[in-house]
Amino acid sequence: LFTTPKIRVVPSRLVKEGEQVTLECVTDPKERTRYLFYKDSQIIQSADIKNIYVIDKAKEENTGSYQCSVQSQDGNVRKNSTNIYILVQSITITVDKDNKDFVYGESLTLNCSIKKGMSPVFLWLHNETVVEKDSEFYQLRDSGKVLYIKSLQSHYAGTYSCKVSNNLADNKPFYIVETFEISQILESHPLGESTFMKTDKVCLSCLSSLANIQ
């Protein structure tokens, strides 16, 4: 009648929170068949002619084990796919500064974090170029989740991407990506915004004119 179905996931089994996820139940031939989808052994889509199940905006509660079934129109024949595990993750990039001004000569720390541990592997890219561990321009800290820049220069402007990967099954890597944009490196802080470090030397001059004092 039809082959044992396989369940296909787009974009991947490791999903960034908020992304759309599509599960497709693939069998041959597709004519005169009905499809069911399960999550953690519970039916989430009853028998239907549609062979896809869509999660519009993935949340953590969508994490789980998924399976699909194909059955004949009369329901007498049913075949099940194997289970696949889908992990929905939240990923963020934070910086060690309150304002959004990136000033020439200052240091900068970018921290890439996820909500739940999954033995992640972190990979940083700057303008789509991989940041190597022994790079002369960057320091990778805390198992790669932290990217440190000692002194900002003009060439540090651009898009930074944190790519977090994990092997969920079959030794196939899956990953999610978050980006952070530095549009420009300023020569100094905007007027009215002065920043001093504890070790900085500051010279203050008070000038006055006594000519008009009676």
pLDDT tens digits along 77-117: 999 999 999 999 899 999 998 777 899 999 999 999 987 65
CA quadruple 61, 64, 68, 69: dihedral, nearest 10: -100
Residue entry with tokens 């068949």: 33
Question: Which superfamily is assigned to 6-88 in CATH?
Answer: Immunoglobulins (2.60.40.10)
Rg of the chain taking only CA atoms, in angstroms: 27
Residues of the chain with pLDDT > 90, as a percent, come to 64
- Tell me, yes or no, if the two domains 6-88 and 90-182 fold the same way: yes
Q: pLDDT for 145-191, tens place per residue?
A: 999 999 999 999 999 999 998 766 555 667 889 999 999 999 886 65
Q: DSSP state, 60?
A: G
Q: DSSP state, 137?
A: S
- Residue 156 sits at φ, ψ, to 5 deg, of -85, -10
- Which residue type does 140 have? L
- Grade residue 205 by pLDDT with cuts at 50, 70 and 90: very low
2.60.40.10, 1.10.10.10, 2.40.50.100, 2.30.110.10: which CATH number matches 90-182?
A: 2.60.40.10
For the chain, give every domain's residue range: 6-88, 90-182
Residue 4: Cβ within 10 Å count: 10
Cβ atoms of 45 and 79 closer than 8 Å? no
